[in-house]
Amino acid sequence: MRATLKKHNIRFRERLAASKVIAILRAEDTEYFADVAQVLYDSGIRVIEAALTTPGALDAIAQMQVELGPDTMVGAGSVRTVSDVDNCASAGVDFLVTPTFSADVLDRAQQYSLPVVCGALTPTEIDAAWRRGAAVVKVFPIGPVGGVEYLRAVRAPLPEIPLVPTGGVALPEVEAYLGAGAFAVAAASPLIGDAVCGRRLDELARRASDLASLAGKFV
């Protein structure tokens, strides 16, 4: 089981390293998730997270997986409980994203060999998440605690841990985060905007294409 998880974690990191961006979809409903995901795919962003706080997220993930195919990894975000993990595994998601560090959630995900983007903030939490088997560690919320400078400070004693700054990451800051050693970045509203409500998909396409081009410099 651990060997399989290790293989899946390596594969996930390889895919994320080729994209450098996790696009986060969160809304009151999933009506436009598939449309947004197609724009992201066409723009070169191939790792997508749909938050479980959106009703119907698991069904939307399944739809996106079918429509986008194996070139895209679609995972579930806001995973907080063992029951969430069970439901996500049954639905066949590609990976999990948690807002916080939970040993129970990581252990359960390991039973399914599911890669986890584990939320953590302090160096202690980050180290614990990595040691517990996280594929990468989501530093959340990074914006309010110092942004790029906080990332640099955390990476200094923990250089081997792949970190994904999340929460308050403005698009103009992405280059600085990646330049400071972020493994990837995750973006919700700064990238997606109101496209999840079916509005201004053309503007999303422009933002996503610009972000994918910028991130590509760090691949």
* Catalytic residue annotation: 49, 138
Per-residue DSSP letter, 218: T
Beta-bridge partners for 96: 76, 116
Measured CA to CA, the distance from residue 198 to residue 195 in angstroms comes to 5
Measured CA to CA, the distance from residue 172 to residue 178 in angstroms comes to 11
Give Cβ neighbours of residue 64 (< 8 Å, ≥ 6 apart): 33, 34, 37, 48, 50, 72, 74
Per-residue DSSP letter, 158: -
